[in-house]
Amino acid sequence: MSRVFITGSSEGLGLMAGQLLHAQGHHVVLHARNAVRADTARRGLPQAEAIVLGDVATLRGMHEVARQANDLGRFDAVIHNVGIGYQEQRRTETEDSLPHVFAINVLAPYVLTALLQRPARLVYLSSGMHLGASVHLEDPAWRERRWNGSTAYAESKLYDLMLAFAVARRWPQVLSNAVHPGWVATRMGGAGATDVLDEGHRTQAWLAASDDPAALVSGQYFYHQRPADPNPQARRTDLQEGLIAALTGFSGITLPQ
């Protein structure tokens, strides 16, 4: 039996993963942006051990989520599910002068990884769209480039994959992997999504808690419980370390070696 914390889990794939893990006998802590979202999460999984509140669009909110989660004690696994999609038509900035897509999809998983008590397993949500993205460490927060929401999202999912691989390399005692859940009809994915919704949450739950030897690996990228080939840039340790340096600069937080 494991204790699992799932970020961005008031609805969609995060909540579905929590429901599955609970059904398997695990203890689940959910996360919601605000009290309204927390009510939605509680209705979706009344048996949740707790619901952490905090808007991870801001550094202030990231710190608050980490504080609340750490107050609950160490987790066996953390699923970094929180994220927003690819349909932002303009650059929307947070109070930290960062694009929402970058702050929520990339900086928040990094900050929480660095601040939370270290679990045995980490799961990061990527996307198949990362395959068409390129690393832009000279301007990861789109301060100089002309905004493109779809490209910014795809890049963010490439950076999530790089973060998962960097953590796997830096923390060999932790199983750190990334997941492509498929293009599924959640609020983020939209009604036109073509993958099977029921498959979208299963791989991250499996990686978080299963004793299947195939799940007890690290530094891998999965699609529907099978290893997949990532964008080759994600495997480059120089780019991984460049990303970690950039995220350290944006957050003021160092990822422990």
pLDDT in tens, 117-156: 999 999 999 999 999 999 999 999 999 999 999 999 999 9
Average pLDDT, the chain: 93
> Quick one: fold of 3-251?
Rossmann fold (3.40.50)
Average pLDDT over residues 192-205: 72
Contact indicator for 126, 80 with CB cutoff of 8 Å: no
Active-site residue numbers? Answer: 153, 157
What's residue 219's pLDDT?
98
For residue 185, name the pLDDT band (cuts at 50, 70, 90): very low
pTM > 0.75: yes
pLDDT tens by residue, 44-85: 999 999 999 999 999 999 999 999 999 999 999 999 999 998
Cα–Cα distances (Å) from 127 to 24, 87, 184, 190, 245, in that order, read: 26, 14, 11, 14, 23
Q: Where are the domains of the chain?
A: 3-251
Q: What is the mean pLDDT of residues 209-227?
A: 97
3-state SS assignment for residue 175: strand
Residue among 190, 203, 113 nearest 153 (CA):
190
Can you give the pLDDT at residue 89? 64
pLDDT score for 189: 46
